[in-house]
Amino acid sequence: MREYTLASGMSALIWIIGFGSGSVVAQSPSTPPGADPVTAPATPPILKHESSPNSVVAPSAKAPIPAAEIGSAAKKSFDSGIKWALANQRSNGHWGSFETPRKTEIFLDTQASHQAFQAATTALVALALLDPSKTNPECLAAIERGISRLASRASPGRATGKTFYDVWAHTYLIELSTAVQADPRLSAFHATWKTIGETEIQRVRREQGAEGGWGYYDFEFTGLHPSGHQSTSFNSAAMILALKAAQKQGEVIPAGCIEDATKALLRMQLPSGAFGYGTYAELRPRADYNKLSGSSGRLQACNVALQAVGAGDITNEVILRGVQHLRDTHQYIQIGRGRVRPHEAFYRNSGYYYYFGHYYAARALELVPPSAERAELIRWLTEVMVHDQNPDGSWFDYPLYGYGKAYATGFALLTLEILRPLIDEAAVPQKSDSQK
């Protein structure tokens, strides 16, 4: 596996930042003092990473999309993504695969982890197809195959007492259960998915950490229930939002479940606007991964979750500033996209929460009243999604066995589903906050 040194990482950062403005003047380390600087070429190198299909870092080097064309560009991108999703559903109804082109993969523990990855990935893509299925019968048929496949399998469980990637599956199975029950076209599946939703809710309460949150590791403590020592802020936030959606649908949430999770998330909230990576990092507020540049992809879900439960003093201004942090420090999480090793990028950013972060950023923008600042962030986030798309119509942020393209495409489509209506709204001239 290819090694990435600090020097090569800094070089990549210089290329990415510099070419965002069209050209850059670079001073070679070997250039004697006083010598003429070397002008870099107008086209940046394509930074492909071993076993990361279609991974291209530096979308900022692409030409900006004119404001008048951003809506049509988003539609074209979305339609292309739908085509990829329909073409890449497995014959048995799921998306993603255990197959991998890599020599080494992330820690799996047991094969139960594959059941978790497959369920989470399939749930995400099925969720993404719900809206277009209103006008596209192929999408509806794909959803029915997908939810039938999921209903035929037992709820994913923990791999062992120390490894539970199933937290991702439970989160999005609860979201999918809520969406299926809300769709009258899927009435034949309502009873089944109500049972699935109830089962998932009870399971996540049992697997809730002792401190109130959720995560996917518990290496130092292996017990019947997670210790919560390695719960993460972003898993906890995403689960809170899934449970709130289920509660709104009429599901009964176990007493104290959301309240305990909220307390855990509040303990990870930092004065800077960032959130600690996990409970184990609460006492390391100045660690690089806990700074805004390392937290921008994770804090979006945290802000949205805390506002949903009315905690943490998350005003609309805080929500907006959170998305601005993602934009202003985007190069750091962007460098992590497509990397073969988790957390090898600056500020320990990792590709696997790249599209997760952008999806919850879109959900954040949905909450904020119209303004000039919001309109610009909508345009920026849409442009990122369009530029990130692979030529085959998929999106990709991390080579997780054979699930990387499918789950990333699910998140990306969900992101564009939120942004596309907001683009039209943002086209109406708005006063900036400073003009009000």
- Cβ neighbours of residue 353 closer than 8 Å, sequence gap 6 or more: 234, 297, 298
Per-residue confidence (pLDDT) for residue 19, from 0 to 100? 25
Per-residue confidence (pLDDT) for residue 54, from 0 to 100? 38
- Alpha carbon of 22 to those of 41, 43, 61, 81, 380: distances in Å? 10, 8, 7, 29, 17
What Rg, from alpha-carbon coordinates, does the chain have?
Answer: 21
Per-residue confidence (pLDDT) for residue 44, from 0 to 100? 39
Per-residue confidence (pLDDT) for residue 6, from 0 to 100? 30
Report residues of the chain scoring pLDDT below 50: 1-59
- Name the token pair of 388: 């990130």
Per-residue confidence (pLDDT) for residue 376, from 0 to 100? 96
- Alpha carbon of 168 to those of 204, 214, 253: distances in Å? 11, 10, 18
CB atoms within 10 A of CB 394: 22
Residue at token pair 């690089």: 288
Determine the straight-line distance between the first and last CA of the chain, rounded to whole angstroms. Answer: 54
**Segment holding 261, helix H or strand E:** helix 257-267
What sign for the dihedral angle of Cα 421, 424, 430, 433? positive
Per-residue confidence (pLDDT) for residue 62, from 0 to 100? 80
The model's pTM: 0.85
CB atoms within 10 A of CB 367: 15
Q: Give the span between the Cα atoms of 411 and 11, in whole angstroms.
A: 30
Per-residue confidence (pLDDT) for residue 436, from 0 to 100? 53
